Amino acid sequence: MARDARAPAGYGCRVRLGVIDIGSNTIHLLIVDAHHGAAPIPATSHKRPMRLAEHVDHEGRVCESGTASLTAFVRECLEVAEEQGAEEILAFATSAIREAANGDEVLDRVRDESGVDLQVLGGEDEARLTFLAARRWEGWSAGRLLVLDIGGGSLEITLGDDEEPDVARSLLLGAGRVTRELLPGDPPTAEEIRTARKRVRAVLARDIRPFARMKDPDTVLGTSKTMRSLARIAGAAPSGQGPYVTRVLRLADVTGIIARVSPMSAKERTSLPGVSAHRAHQLLAGAIVAEAAMDLLGVPELEICPWAMREGVLLRYLEQLA
């Protein structure tokens, strides 16, 4: 994420930035106008469902087709960013590349063929950047903040009073991962669902002990497409009403959603509000993770936060320009 020498610097200098986010499910380019001390203003976005984690072979290597598709779309993102007048590109990848046996080879291929130097974020880095974004969005009046972020490959949980969390954990409980490893059926069997719920709770119970020893949060936020989809199914306002509408997700609603979608195929789930075709297959897994996390952390309800790790990357970068 090295800064271009031509890019403007200093407090208050506005810059148009492009952020390429290589996730387990989607590759997303976001173009924003931003400067230190102000909220980034989205200008345009360009994304493609890729399910990169599904392009990993039995040896844990991203296959040739996956690497080629990734590289081609990064080049496409660069073209879009140039057309939109972006002065600099920040590009990062998360669990799918981080865990790949040939991750370095994939990074080299992308850099050689596109010129983009992808930065791989660690799990706790993801958690801390997401927490920063959530804190800036919610403000200091939120008090002690607990943030739950369900991605495709991992679940991030953070808790703290400041812009840096006191506790940050990244668990291998992403909605896509749980689907691939524990819920292969379409729809899954009752036994698969029972096993998934049991294993997810076992992992959480082992790894959330540091949170149980700390003071209860004043505000709980949920981020990510999974959380937004669950809230939408539960009756929250659609995205078209803008980011400033309060959207709440209740534990009781999540439990009800699990019962509702368990017998549904992925195709049938696309009839639900807020559920896209490329994410429908992992909706149940996301709900199982959300239910377990909220229950074991004692969270009866949370509010949906529209900012997450991508905005955290932007905010951290802008601090460096000041």
pLDDT at 148: 98
Q: What is the pLDDT of residues 170-224, one digit of tens each?
A: 999 999 999 999 999 999 999 999 999 999 999 999 999 899 888 899 999 999 9
My answer on whether omega of the bond before 8 falls inside 30° of 0, hence cis, is: no
Q: In what order do the strands lie in the sheet with 88-93?
A: 41-49, 26-34, 15-22, 88-93, 119-120
User: Could you tell me the pTM of the whole model?
Assistant: 0.92
pLDDT at 9: 43
Confidence band for 12, pLDDT divided at 50, 70 and 90: low
> What's the whole-number average pLDDT of the chain?
92
List, in order, residues 6 or more apart from 76 with CB less than 8 Å away. 46
Q: Is residue 6 scored above 80 in pLDDT?
A: no
Q: What is the pLDDT of residues 105-145, one digit of tens each?
A: 999 999 999 999 999 999 999 999 999 999 999 999 999 99
Q: Is residue 11 scored above 90 in pLDDT?
A: no
Q: Which residue spans of the chain are classified as CATH 3.30.420.150?
A: 138-309
pLDDT at 222: 98
pLDDT at 8: 41
Q: For the chain, what is the radius of gyration of the CA atoms?
A: 19
Q: What is the pLDDT of residues 256-298, one digit of tens each?
A: 999 999 999 999 999 999 999 999 999 999 999 999 999 999 9
pLDDT at 322: 65
Q: Is residue 52 scored above 90 in pLDDT?
A: no
Domain 138-309 coded CATH 3.30.420.150:
yes
Percent of the chain with pLDDT over 90: 82
Task: Answer yes or no: are the C-beta atoms of 304 and 249 closer than 8 Å.
Answer: yes
Among 266, 258, 248, residue whose Cα is nearest residue 291: 258
CATH tag, 15-120: 3.30.420.40
Q: Which residue spans of the chain are classified as CATH 3.30.420.40?
A: 15-120
Q: Is residue 7 scored above 60 in pLDDT?
A: no
